[in-house]
């Protein structure tokens, strides 16, 4: 069915003209790169939880704070480093990566990728004040990453979106699971898988924690396409039913944010935009913080209503 795209903003994000907002040189200790930052509001501050890769190639997480959401001051020391606990150490030995932050009541839950010699798993930790950090569990088996938690329980259970597989050139699908306690996960269901020939034809993965709107849960996801010069990471959005989040209400059939600028195309991993955090302001303006080329962090804004409209242009065709 043909869709009339007249007067519809197909690329709703406006990239900040001062991008990148955080570079390696801004980190107050030696490192290789900084990218893929989780984001939230805490009191009157914007908080970013940065993935910082050290000079040995292993990642840890460091906090950055801002009053305006643009100019950030980065802590002088890492906040979350690979654990030395006998249970966690084998699975975090090579680093902790790509965090996401979800606030549930007064607690901020942090999902992250634990990387070790046996592959990648999703870890979950928590904080109330961004001072102390307490690990809760390793929530998945290997290989699994891109875990995002919903900001409230649904039918009395926690809900998380994950991406099992997708490594080593394999196809990666998006799944949704639930848990009574954040530790034991099950009732897993397929949510979305790559469409052959599309912009994310190799693998998909959730990018930012779900945002609750009147029309449904809005989730940004990344899609990867293999081309002659390598891989391209771009961003789409999907809308899930509020009461039954395993039900897809709509999605953007085209990507809505992609690498175009030199800072997005040139770096350790070229042609990558990879958001891990989004903050909805009171005026429906959405800030999205995204890693660029695995080398720096950028910010873009959009009207959330434009994104929801794109998701609802046509109903899902169930061809995932």
Segment 146-153 shows an average pLDDT of 98
Q: Over the chain, what is the mean pLDDT?
A: 95
Torsion (CA) 317, 195, 12, 211 in degrees, nearest 10 = 70
* Structural domain includes residue 10: no
Segment 96-117 shows an average pLDDT of 98
Quote the distance between the C-alpha of residue 284 and its chain's center: 20
* pLDDT above 70 for 228: yes
* Structural domain includes residue 9: no
* Structural domain includes residue 285: yes
- Percent of the chain's residues with pLDDT above 90: 92
* Structural domain includes residue 6: no
How confident is residue 92, by pLDDT bands cut at 50, 70 and 90? very high
* pLDDT above 60 for 19: yes
How confident is residue 7, by pLDDT bands cut at 50, 70 and 90? confident
Segment 106-120 shows an average pLDDT of 98
Segment 142-163 shows an average pLDDT of 98
Q: Give me the CATH number covering residue 172.
A: 2.115.10.20
How confident is residue 169, by pLDDT bands cut at 50, 70 and 90? confident
Q: Which domain holds residue 80?
A: 21-311
How confident is residue 168, by pLDDT bands cut at 50, 70 and 90? confident
How many domains does the structure of the chain reveal?
1
Q: What is the pLDDT of residues 66-77, one digit of tens each?
A: 999 999 999 999
* Structural domain includes residue 1: no
* Structural domain includes residue 7: no
* pLDDT above 60 for 277: yes
Long-range contacts of 156-162 (CB under 8 A, 24+ apart): 156/180, 158/104, 158/182, 159/245, 160/111, 160/122, 160/185, 161/191, 161/206, 161/210, 161/219, 162/122, 162/206
* Structural domain includes residue 3: no
Segment 162-191 shows an average pLDDT of 95
How confident is the model at residue 319, as a pLDDT?
A: 45
* Structural domain includes residue 52: yes
């Amino acid at each position: 069915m043909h869709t009339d795209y007249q007067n519809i903003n197909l690329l709703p994000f406006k990239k900040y003209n001062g991008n990148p907002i955080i570079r390696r040189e801004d980190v107050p200790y030696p490192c290789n790169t900084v990218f893929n930052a989780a984001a939230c509001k805490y009191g009157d501050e914007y908080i970013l939880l940065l993935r910082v890769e050290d000079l040995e190639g292993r990642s840890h997480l460091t906090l950055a704070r801002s009053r305006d959401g643009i100019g950030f001051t980065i802590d002088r020391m890492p906040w979350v480093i690979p654990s030395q606990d006998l249970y966690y150490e084998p699975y975090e030995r090579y680093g902790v990566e790509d965090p996401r932050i979800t606030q549930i009541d007064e607690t901020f839950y942090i999902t992250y990728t634990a990387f070790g010699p046996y592959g990648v798993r999703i870890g979950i930790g928590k904080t109330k004040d961004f001072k102390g950090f307490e690990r809760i569990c390793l929530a998945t088996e290997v290989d699994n990453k891109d875990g995002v938690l919903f900001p409230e329980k649904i039918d009395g259970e926690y809900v998380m979106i994950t991406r099992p597989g997708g490594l080593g050139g394999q196809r990666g699908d998006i799944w949704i699971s639930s848990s009574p306690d954040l530790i034991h996960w099950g009732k897993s269901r397929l949510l979305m898988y790559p469409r052959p020939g599309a912009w994310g034809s190799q693998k998909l993965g959730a990018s930012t924690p779900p945002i609750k709107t009147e029309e449904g849960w809005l989730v940004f996801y990344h899609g990867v396409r293999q081309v002659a010069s390598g891989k391209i990471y771009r961003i789409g959005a999907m809308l899930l039913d509020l009461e039954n989040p395993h039900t897809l209400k709509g999605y953007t059939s085209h990507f809505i944010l992609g690498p175009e600028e030199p800072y997005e195309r040139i770096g350790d991993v070229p042609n990558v935009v990879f958001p891990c955090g989004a903050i909805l302001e009171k005026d429906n303006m959405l800030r999205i913080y995204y890693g660029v080329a695995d080398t720096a962090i950028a910010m873009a804004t959009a009207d959330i209503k434009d994104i929801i409209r794109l998701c609802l242009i046509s109903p899902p065709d169930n061809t995932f």
